[in-house]
Amino acid sequence: MEISLSSILIFSSILFVIGFLLIITRKNSLLIFIGIKFILISLTIMIIAFAKQNENILEGEFIFISILSLILVYFILTIFLQLGSKSKNKIK
């Protein structure tokens, strides 16, 4: 059973909308980063779907994009957590 391209794009679009709504509606930085991660995952799914349709499997590029997005979210989250802890220490 093969999944059609339209169903993959619908699933990816739903993930994108969830991530976008998390970014817009939340003030918590952790939830905003989760929204960014949802958007990056949806874009990765779209890239894989179009690559499979064109019979051009981009395994190396997919792994690179996935690892790069994880590293980017980790560094941004670490920076914000350090800035938050420094501001809490100044208040005390």
- Across the chain, mean pLDDT equals 77
- Alpha carbon 24 to chain centroid distance? 15
Helix (H) or strand (E) holding 50: helix 29-53
Nearest CA-CA partner of 48 in 65, 35, 34: 65
Question: In the chain, what are the domain boundaries?
Answer: 5-91
Tens digit of each residue's pLDDT (9 = 90 or more) over 27-66? 877 788 788 888 888 888 887 787 777 776 666 666 667 6
pLDDT score for 48 = 77
Angle between helices 29-53 and 59-91 (to 10 degrees): 170
For the beta carbon of residue 88, count every other beta carbon within 10 angstroms. 9
Mean pLDDT of 69-74: 73
pTM of the model: 0.63
- What pLDDT does residue 62 have? 66
